[in-house]
Structure 1
Amino acid sequence: MNTHIFPESSVAYLSLHAHLGLVGWFLLLITGVGSRLIPMFLISKYSNKNLLWWVYGMINGALVSFILFKIAGLTSIAFLLSIIAGLTGILLFGVYCYKAYKVRIRRQVDDQMKISLLSVAQMLIPLIAIILILYFLPAGEYLNISILYGFCILFGWITAIILGMTFKTLPFIVWNKVYTKKAFKGRTPTPKELFSDKIYSGMLIAYLSGFVLFIAGILLSQDIILKVGAFALLLAAVLYVTNTGKIITHQQKQL
């Protein structure tokens, strides 16, 4: 007697598991948190709950429809509906961030916000990759694009938003803990002074260089380019840990 709920082996549903995590957790988390933090750090009064509900609905609609189509074993044409819904949700989120950016009070945008806004644009790359895989490349000849798809998710928008928002939120958290009782007793460092701008700039250069080089290495199937890109990403990670360590270990000092 066959007691399996799904008709295929568990391996066939790994893509469901991956997308439930990446879209159902990471993407919704990033869009949700980003919709609050990006306007806040830009000092923008822009708010549009209806637009955010559309973003929420489109992303969840894309995820649910993808799951149903996958279980039903439908052809790749059906998945186009999921892709369109997901693309629409991401574009609407981009519109939301752009409008918040346009009406910002703080005219000068720091590097942390620039990389955070870049992460929004990077959300489109995996969708372009999946469209190429499903509709333009012959079956069995899209291994590199599949790798590109996963890489751009993990090292694209997820990594970029982490690199940006860590150095907007963590310094303030540490500053608030260390100086909250001393703020009115003399000059104290600002949250931005808790980490090194030079290390942060170096981290961004290493990250962006590594990201571009690794993509080039994937597309060109060149090991040397992949290794250089991987080294640059590793360097970015080391600089990230160094700077976050500098923040976390900050000791109180009066200026």
Structure 2
Amino acid sequence: MDIDRALAIEAAEREYLQSRVENLLGVDGNPFGARVFHNGSFPCFAVSASPSPMFNRVYGDYQHDAAAIVGLLSQSVTPLIAAPASLEQGVCLAGRQLERLKGWTHLQLACAVEHAVIDQHAFAIEEVSAETLPAFLDIHAAGFHTKAEQRLLNRASFSYPASNQRARIYVLKSAGEVVAGAVLYLASNGVAYLGTAATQKSARGLGYHGALINHRIEQAKLHGSRLIAATALANSQSRRNLQRAGLTVSHAQALYRLAED
């Protein structure tokens, strides 16, 4: 595992997730109880209205100050990385036992921009607008089985202000209707992170996800990114589509929480 590349990928993902929490924090009155705080130089975030590990994460210096991470884990999780198949179900950190969350172990994939493989397609892809954002949000909520009570929060987390030039949402249309969409986050460290993507259930298997990968890679090139990165489940079609575009497995990431006594 190339540790420098792995850390760059993790930093880009962290920045992307933090940006979504900051969107929640920006809602008048902060109704979702969002907050961003720091553990030393590492940003962490939490959202009291959401139980999702996506929005409640602690980061820090795992080698030199693991106790500080453990001290913040009462309501949050922390990601640990390793070579694939090397992550344990339980680990000891600063004298406390942590357990791996079921369903939250993913592969991190990446490639240098110049090594990406872009296939041509004839699909209509455009940057999201005020008119098409609701369709993307509906497709995303359906694809990720977002509960009704969490849909307003989920929508707000994607409402990037115009001042945020790092986040891009693209939608793919068929017969004038939005059928798929995906996020590109241009992280400050030069990594283009291919964020969440979703396709309408009735439109799956038609190559839309792959086309959105290609489009985002093209956009990343235009914006001067040096590395393309993405997250996928090991046995998913998303992983296969990403590998088709030239990305290879960098490492595995799993989320851990404090084990119950």
Q: Normalising to structure 2: TM-score of the pair?
A: 0.28
Q: Could you say which structure has the higher helix fraction? A: 1
- Name the larger-Rg structure: 1
Higher RCO by CA contacts (8 Å cutoff, separation 6 or greater): 2
